Amino acid sequence: MTATRRAGALVLLVALLALLAPVAAGAAPGDGPRRQDDAPADGATDPFDRLAGCIGATGRLEVVLLVDESASLKETDPEDQRVAAARAALASLDRLRGTGPGGETQIDVLVSAFSYDFTPVGDWTVLDADTIGEVDDTIAGLAERDSSMDTDFYNALDGARQALAERTAEVGQGDGSEVCKAVLLFTDGNFGLGARTTPEAEEEFGTTKSYAPGVVLDSEEAAQEATAAGVTALCEPGGVADQVRSDRITLITVPLTESLGEGPRRLIEAITTGRGEERVCGDPDTDLPGAYLPAADTDELLRTFDLVASRIGGGSVAGEPARPTPCVDDPCDEGAVPFTVDPSFRRVHLFVGVAGEGGRLVLEPPEGDPLTLAPGEDTATDVDGIPVQATWVADEAVTVDLDVPTGGVGAGTWRAVLVADEDPGDATGVVQVVSFSAIVATLDPDSSLTYGEASTLRAEVTAREGDDVDPDISDATVTALITDPITGEETTLDLAPEGDAFAAEYTVPAEVTASALRVALRLDATTSGGAPLTSVSPATDLAVRRPAGYPQLAPARLELTSVTADGTAEGILVLVGPEEGEGCAWFEDLEVLEAPADAGALTLETQGVGRSDADCTEVAAPLEVPVEVTAADRADGTVSGYLRVQLARGAGDAPITTDVPLTFEMARGVDEAKRLVVAVGLLLGGLLLPLGLLVLINLLTTRFQVLDHVRAAQVPVAVDRTGRITRTDGTRRGLSLVDRDFHGLEDEGGHRRFTWGGLVFTARTPLNPFGEPYAAVAPAEGAADVSREGRRTDLALGLTGSWLFLLDPDATRAAADGGPVGEVHGQLVAFVARGPLAAQTTRLADDVGARLPTTARRLAGLAGIELAGPATP
């Protein structure tokens, strides 16, 4: 059976009870909050920490690879270092795909070039084992593109920004979460325009620039004038550089250092980070700076991007890279770099550059035999009980990953030893060590915020979900990054030790209007084995309570139902009156931050609450307010914005403005009215032809949601005669769905058929031309059979938010032991969208709890199983 219904009022009231709980007191404060317009702490605005936290929360990254193709590269980059760097970046992103800070990460890549304008090279591609080769070939082909005119950073970055905006609208999460976006820029760094001195150049490259009106590029003087105008338009307040940052795009720039003069170097660094030496571009104090990564040669570029992917993936860097002199013939201390494998680690990653004739790496464990890694020989084996994967990414560069098992296996001091056949002279290798810990700081669920009042935030150091390790650390510091989702403003807060936890007081500023603030935690510590540890937790929404006497509301973020065709997005906002005194509320309008261009005007409708201060509606008992948003036209994409609510109390004080973030998905769907009109017209000319055409239309449009965007879980459950649902996978605990239950479907099939969990899901087209497409479920070849009851199901082809129950008649009869059946056994299959799970699994659990007992008993009856008694709703 299926479920796509929104969460009920009960869940919202439970959320409100948590919101109304008293603020914890007695915490020893930290050093107090720092707004980002104060001097930030080291790493407070670190672009890699920011991306790691975002990816940990959303599980998705959109990346534009932006590669220079101007003619100046023939002199500044004759060895095509920009292409080597882009390919190294792609390999690092592919590694990140399976090892992000929150587990599996989906990465979408757009390869593009720029000179006089922004030019996509191909389409957006979801990285996987099948597509990585194609994308790498596309990047390799850019080596031939070095004959164009201009190096126009204005058009390049504006084009990349727009491409990311369109992609975000196309595949937006639809759950209010931030979409993680990055631009990787590879260039010789010279912003310059050329004079169009031939008719062919004028036709191919154009003679004007949008940022230099009235200037015709037909002379060197005009080109210099337009160049100056382009730099101004790029770097002025609110210009393209600031727009990239306001869109929360992380710009990572790789200049070809040896080709840059001082002026170009300062400009490109300022474009990337906001300020360079004696130069600014846009807001110099931006809290969203990019990363400027100069590298001297191709080997350094490989290491740089290996480090980029490790940092984005949540890795802790063990200091500066070591540069040992290789030993001759046999391992020695001079060529050795020790590193720690701690029981709290999930993985250790090494980037090693060998040197000298016959250069190679010898990996020495604390116990057992060493492993020798020679160039070109990729290896997968066990060393001292730890699985080791070695991949040569270049002739003299190898990456090594150690997947650390639980129980302390292989823990201790290892050595990476560089060895060569001959004396390398002055040549040195390089060893970079990065660890990935299972330990993270998490926000105490009792933490809360109150508008205008000092509140206490508490954090605990724990193992990540699914990891079983002891968080034995020392010298620990915890820093909270607090983000206003309405304005984007960020504040850092140092949490001080308090027993086994960390705590600090924080007062929500009076100018904050958001109904919740996003909080991410950074942990810096030393493990029991002496290794440095850094981890960034996924950001969570922390509701901001209004002071006593004011109404409260929930949820803090509205996730409306999706709209297909001409439908309406719907949701419920719950208002609760103050514990004492009188309070009232009214709604103002919807502020749209992002929407598909084709959607037209968006109209807000609410019921039961006034729309002005003159109609302030009294709030006493909990009040459910239906919220509906209707678009003027059909469109595909994501709508995001916020609903402004005014909350007032009876004492006559000024109302408090509260902005509730709001989001929903739009899909054009099939225009039923037009289809019927077409059908009527065709019926006038014949009967079979139009019916056949409608069947064909249904056949062409019968397809599952794109599997790249979906995760699925299969959980064995039992439903007893009272309607209680429990898991039967050995725990017999109540029904709950957690992150480790879900798996991605991107490699499991196509739009019409996929196989997962021993089941084959097929999208079926009904013969009735007016019937709805449906999904059929059958056991895969070689899998255990399931009951035929329910094989045809009304599982939504959209998948996300749907579930079905597969009856296991043998297990059900076995549980009865020959008597009447008291429990119905089977498999619960549930589907969610990629991204944060909490809201999705809550909706699923509510609907499964409400409908599964009746569904299970009905299927058991169809299978001829005698039941002991009726289920209690």
In a domain, 710, yes or no: yes
DSSP state letters, 85-142: HHHHHHHHHHHHHTSBTTB--EEEEEEEEESSSEEE-S--EE-STTTHHHHHHHHHGG
Query: What average pLDDT does the segment 763-780 reach?
Result: 78
Cβ proximity of 374 and 455 under 8 Å: no
Q: Does 492 lie in the same domain as 364?
A: no
The two three-digit tokens of residue 448, written as one number: 């809360």
In a domain, 327, yes or no: yes
pLDDT at residue 813 greater than cutoff 70:
yes
Q: Does 334 lie in the same domain as 270?
A: no
pLDDT at 786: 46
The two three-digit tokens of residue 260, written as one number: 């840059």
In a domain, 680, yes or no: no
Residue 71 CB-half CA count within 13 A? 9
First to last CA, the chain: 17
pLDDT at residue 853 greater than cutoff 70:
yes
Residue 455: CATH number of its domain: 2.60.40.10
pLDDT at 526: 85
Q: Does 429 lie in the same domain as 491?
A: no
Residue 414: CATH number of its domain: 2.60.120
Which of the residue ranges 162-176, 244-258, 434-448, 776-790 has the most confident prediction, judged by mean pLDDT? 434-448
Q: Does 535 lie in the same domain as 414?
A: no
Range of the domain at 453: 439-545
Q: Does 100 lie in the same domain as 235?
A: yes
CA dist 518 → 1, 20, 36, 449, 463 (Å) = 36, 19, 15, 11, 21
As for how many domains the chain has, the answer is 5
Q: Does 819 lie in the same domain as 783?
A: yes
In a domain, 30, yes or no: no
Q: Strands 345-353 and 397-403, how do they pair?
A: antiparallel
Write down which residue in 405, 437, 469 finishes a domain: 437
In a domain, 133, yes or no: yes
Write down which residue in 493, 516, 545 finishes a domain: 545
Per-residue pLDDT tens digits for 602-655: 999 988 899 988 899 999 888 999 999 998 888 765 677 899 999 998 767 789
Q: Does 235 lie in the same domain as 127?
A: yes
Q: Does 427 lie in the same domain as 448?
A: no
* Distance, CA of 9 to chain centre: 28
pLDDT at residue 154 greater than cutoff 80:
yes
pTM: 0.58
Residue 123: CATH number of its domain: 3.40.50.410
Which of the residue ranges 392-406, 409-423, 776-790 has the most confident prediction, judged by mean pLDDT? 409-423
- 214 Cβ contact partners less than 8 Å away, ≥ 6 residues apart: none
In a domain, 798, yes or no: yes
Write down which residue in 647, 667, 687 finishes a domain: 667
In a domain, 692, yes or no: no
Query: What average pLDDT does the segment 857-872 reach?
Result: 73
pLDDT at residue 60 greater than cutoff 80:
yes
Q: Does 335 lie in the same domain as 249?
A: no
pLDDT at residue 698 greater than cutoff 80:
no
In a domain, 695, yes or no: no
The two three-digit tokens of residue 873, written as one number: 């709703």
Q: Which residue has the higher pLDDT, 839 or 249?
A: 249
Q: Does 267 lie in the same domain as 386?
A: no
Q: Does 443 lie in the same domain as 433?
A: no
Q: Does 463 lie in the same domain as 405?
A: no
Q: Give the span between the Cα atoms of 611 and 607, in whole angstroms.
A: 10
DSSP state letters, 620-653: -S-EEEEEEEEESS---EEEEEEEEEEEEETT-P
